[in-house]
Amino acid sequence: MQIKCSFCGEQMDNPDFAKNYPNIVCRECESSAVNSNGEIPQFDSMGDFGDNPVYIDGAKCWRRYKFGGFITMRDDFNYDNLDEFYDRSGFMKRYMQDVPNPIDVSQINYLLSQLNNEQMDAKDSEARQREEDRSRLLNEYFEKGVTASHNGKFEDSAMIFIKALEYIKNSQHFEKAQILFNIVTAYCKAGNFPTATEYLSELDSLSARYPDNIVINEEKAKGLGNIVKAAYYVSGDIHRAVSYLSDLNFLTTRYPKNIEINLAMANGVVTIIEAYGRNSDFSKTNSYLSDLTSIASRFPHNIEINLAMVNGLFNIFISHINVGNFPEASIHLKSLKQLAGTFSDNTYIQNLWAEAFEYYQQKKDSRNT
């Protein structure tokens, strides 16, 4: 069975899967999709929803979001929503009389005959079984890798994810990026910074091959965020940490509205603020605090980014108060209080604000005595 991309005409890698989606678009072609505003389409991998419709070279398409990814399908008849597209395009025989524009009936009959009458021979059956086994093993390795990481067995987690790479097909760019990110993260947590950077290089190469792919760049950003932390906390190399943060900043400049990428940048900045704060290099801490403030201003209601903002302020506050710089410490304490008021229902922020205030009072009383 041959199922071809509705744009470039190339044969789809998995026709048994592709046949379930009308006018399916290959990964290469869908990477150039934009939303109605001409921007890279956004989607929520946890909620299984995202921008619809999307457009490829001006042609209207629909996406089905599921299991953290999506399938893109070309709409040749300008339908109003995804459900109508499925009804009219996915089951042509049932709705043929309602299609508003002339269609190639012979082509539809050919596709229907393929769907209804084609019998799998022994070779096709074996190939499908191998594909199912490959997918099953890939999912099993992924779940085992995540479980090992949650249990603190980071080296084991990394080795499991490395094994999972053997079951990745060349066309599975998203999945490969996700696994490489998990390998980088596992080695960072294990304190194996050199090996973590090796796999970050692979992730960087994948991003270079698909520079406009938002999912791959999100995984790269998260990997860079962890590398920034490992460079400082594991290797103690603040200059190298700053270098990796610069690479991360390039991605935030390119994707200023992407939450995942900006969150990785925000957490990386917090690490650098703490590093320079311990050295009492306040000109640099203030500069990076400005960067952190800029990110938070773009996402005023995002709790994770504002948690990073709180942590950055707390680190600078501690740095100033530990050297007896109470006027500057007081300024940052007021900023913490303001955020505590904004996020009054967040226990972490409330506790951190209370801890900062109590520490300030203790240091102030100690100085007065």
pLDDT digits (tens, 9 = 90+) for 269-314: 999 999 999 999 999 999 999 999 999 999 999 999 999 999 999 9
Least confident of 150-164, 218-232, 237-251: 150-164
Strands 43-44 and 49-50: antiparallel
Report the C-alpha dihedral over residues 334, 264, 319, 230, rounded to 10 degrees: 160
Instruction: Write down the pTM of the prediction.
Output: 0.64
| Residue 46: predicted pLDDT | 63
Residue-averaged pLDDT of the chain? 85
Strands (E), 256-299: none
Least confident of 63-67, 271-275, 332-336, 362-366: 63-67
- Say if residues 33 and 55 touch (Cβ distance below 8 Å): yes
Per-residue pLDDT for 118 more than 70?
Answer: no
Residue 87: per-residue pLDDT:
77
Between the two ends of the chain, the Cα-to-Cα distance in Å is: 85
Q: Which of 47-51, 102-106, 165-169 has the highest mean pLDDT?
A: 165-169
Q: How far apart are CA 46 and CA 66, in angstroms?
A: 9
Q: Is pLDDT larger for residue 90 or for residue 26?
A: 26
Provide mean pLDDT across the span 184-196: 93
Q: Which of 92-96, 153-157, 218-222, 338-342 has the lowest mean pLDDT?
A: 92-96
Task: Give pLDDT, residue 109.
Answer: 52
Higher per-residue pLDDT: 281 or 171: 281
Q: Which of 27-41, 109-123, 162-176, 253-267 has the lowest mean pLDDT?
A: 109-123
Average pLDDT score over residue span 25-35: 92
Q: pLDDT for 210-241, tens place per residue? A: 998 999 999 999 999 999 999 999 889 999 99
Interatomic CA distance for residues 238 and 248, integer angstroms: 15
Q: Domain coordinates of the chain in residue numbers?
A: 15-118, 274-369
d(CA 108, CA 104): 6
- Average pLDDT rounded to a whole number, residues 130-155: 85
Residue ranges of alpha helices (H) inside 210-325 are: 214-233, 238-254, 259-278, 282-298, 303-322
pLDDT of residue 92 exceeding 50, the answer is no
Q: Does residue 103 carry a pLDDT above 60?
A: no
Q: In which residue are the tokens 């203790």 written?
A: 362
